[in-house]
A and B are shown apart, each in its own frame.
Chain A
Amino acid sequence: MSEKPSHIVIIGAGHAGGTAAALLRQYDFQGPITLIGEEPIPPYQRPPLSKAWLKGEADADSLALKPLEFYAENGIDFRPNVQVTAIDRQAKGLTLSDGGSLSYDIAILATGARPIRLPIPGADLDGVLELRTAADAEALKAALGPGKTVAVVGGGYIGLEAAASARSLGANVIILEREARILARVACETLSTFFQTYHEARGVQFELGASATGFAGKDGKVTSVILADGRTLACDLVLVGVGVAPNEELAKAAGLECARGVVVNLDARTSDPSIFAIGDVAQRPMPIYENRMFRMESVPNALEQAKQAACAITGRPAPAGETPWQWSDQYDLKLQIAGYPFDADQILVRGDPTSNKFAIFHLKGDQLQSVEAINSPPEFMMGRQLIGNRKPVNASRLADTSISMKEVAA
């Protein structure tokens, strides 16, 4: 056997890829690591882009996962502004967009996802923006300001967070949502109603059941959104936040199994044992939901999978299966969600939504599947534990705020 240490190439320098590189060094992997990113800067946190960054409360240093020097100091060859354009799995070689090539012993796909672009006229006008990268956030920040009107297409978390930040910057906000309610795909009706009411009270205007069919502009710059019902809404800029698509083309072209994401096992390994896939691009089994396959777009998911891959590569025991969770900050609201409401047959609300402090529990029989908590850390923390340990829950006690969450779970 060859004694030469393996060369690991991480394809994609987002939160998942950057974390995988750092964990491999924490776990004493000694071989060379190459980290390839298409953006000009080293891995950074995306969640603040729609929040603290937009409001000018975070700088580039605080966004960065690690300072730039970290990579060189730790023997990680970080290559910005480069994409991998092809994987030759037989030769274990990669073709790069700068004309170069690389060989690998182990590759980790961390190519993430990209915002879905609306296939409608005017989508390429100046001022029609999306929010995924630091450069996107910079463009959005530059375009926002007091008195500006931003039309947000898509009432999902990105749109709502950006709306809250835009309001605090003095901009006018109109949110256009195709469905009958905001957050239709990702939250229950009670939560949708709560967020809409909260935003409305802070001056955000909503157009529900409204499809944008085009954007009109002047001198190449957007000036209005055209709706399916014929109305036009004047605006200074548009933020499109209608979901993301996994960047799986590279994997597909290399013949790796893909199904709305690159399919991986519990070690984050793809159908090729030398290639892993982590983060937004991966379609992965979830142990706490009977290994049901799904694709998640969250930082906790990126971190967990980076850990899975790094453990598998360095021969460490696999991390214990996690309870998926995510969060969203809007105004002074902290939303924390744990689990997914699969097969839930009962929804109960603990606390009073009008107090801006409540939690929604989704139960399947006496088992907790998911919790959505607003400004309610105990409900989130204990709910997350109950989802993970599958302990039976008494629904009437859970709904009773006079019984503490610790007592409910006892």
Chain B
Amino acid sequence: MAKITYIEHNGAEHVLDVKTGLTVMEGAVKNNVPGIDADCGGACACATCHVYVDDAWLAKTGDKSAMEESMLDFAENVEPNSRLACQIKMTDALDGLVVRLPESQH
């Protein structure tokens, strides 16, 4: 288990224990956190699990694949710390991760 804090756009915080091996997207969806739509269920096909990774954690979440990069390039309100949550797998090293959710996934 590793802790993730999801912060909705309206400021509401969800602090959850997520099984390592699951993705940050799965952690949100399985716990019914609003604001991550994840239409494709993790196939990196839709860009509806866009999150902003807290700067302190950004390096630890690893590099974006070319596919993720180019999907994100066309999402709304992309920032340098934008990631697709389905592409970040939880590990013990990410215990304590903080991500913020955009206003909308579309």
Binding site for B on A (CB under 8 A): 22, 25-26, 45, 47-48, 61-62, 64-67, 70, 74, 299-300, 303, 320, 322, 325, 327, 329, 334, 336, 377-378, 381-382, 385, 405
Contact = CB atoms under 8 A, between A and B. Distances in A.
23 contacts: A25-B32, A45-B41, A47-B40, A48-B41, A61-B19, A62-B26, A70-B30, A70-B32, A299-B40, A300-B39, A300-B46, A303-B37, A322-B106, A325-B46, A327-B40, A329-B43, A334-B43, A336-B45, A377-B67, A377-B73, A381-B70, A381-B74, A382-B74
B32 A334 contact: no
B58 interface: no
A299 B34 CA distance: 18
B22 interface: yes
A300 B37 CA distance: 10
A209 B70 CA distance: 39
B90 to A, nearest CB: 12
A334 B39 contact: no
Nearest to B38: A303
Contact of A299 (B31, B39, B67): B39
A327 B45 contact: yes
Contact of A65 (B22, B29, B40): B29
Interface in B11-70: 19, 22, 26, 29-32, 34, 37, 39-41, 43-47, 67, 70
B71 interface: yes
Contacts of B29: 65-66
Contacts, number: 62
A377 B41 contact: no
B22 A62 contact: yes
For the complex, would chain A's binding face be called helix, strand, loop or mixed by DSSP majority?
helix
B32 A377 contact: no
A61 B27 CA distance: 12
A344 to B, nearest CB: 23
Nearest to B47: A381
Contacts of B31: 70
Contacts of A64: 30
A23 to B, nearest CB: 9
A23 B41 CA distance: 16
Contacts of B41: 45, 47-48, 299
A293 B23 CA distance: 37
A377 B71 contact: yes
A381 B71 contact: yes
Contacts of B47: 381
Contacts of A320: 106
Contacts of A26: 32, 34
A168 B85 CA distance: 27
Contacts of B71: 377, 381
A113 B40 CA distance: 19
Contacts of B46: 300, 325, 327
B70 to A, nearest CB: 4
Contacts of A381: 47, 70-71, 73-75
Interface string B64-96: 000100110111000000000000000000000
A378 B73 contact: yes
Nearest to A382: B74
A300 B46 CA distance: 10
The 6 closest A-B pairs by CB, nearest first: A381-B74, A327-B45, A377-B70, A45-B41, A377-B71, A26-B34
A171 B19 CA distance: 34
B70 A334 contact: no
Given A303-B37, A377-B67, A377-B74, A47 B43 contact: yes
Contacts of A62: 22, 26
B100 to A, nearest CB: 18
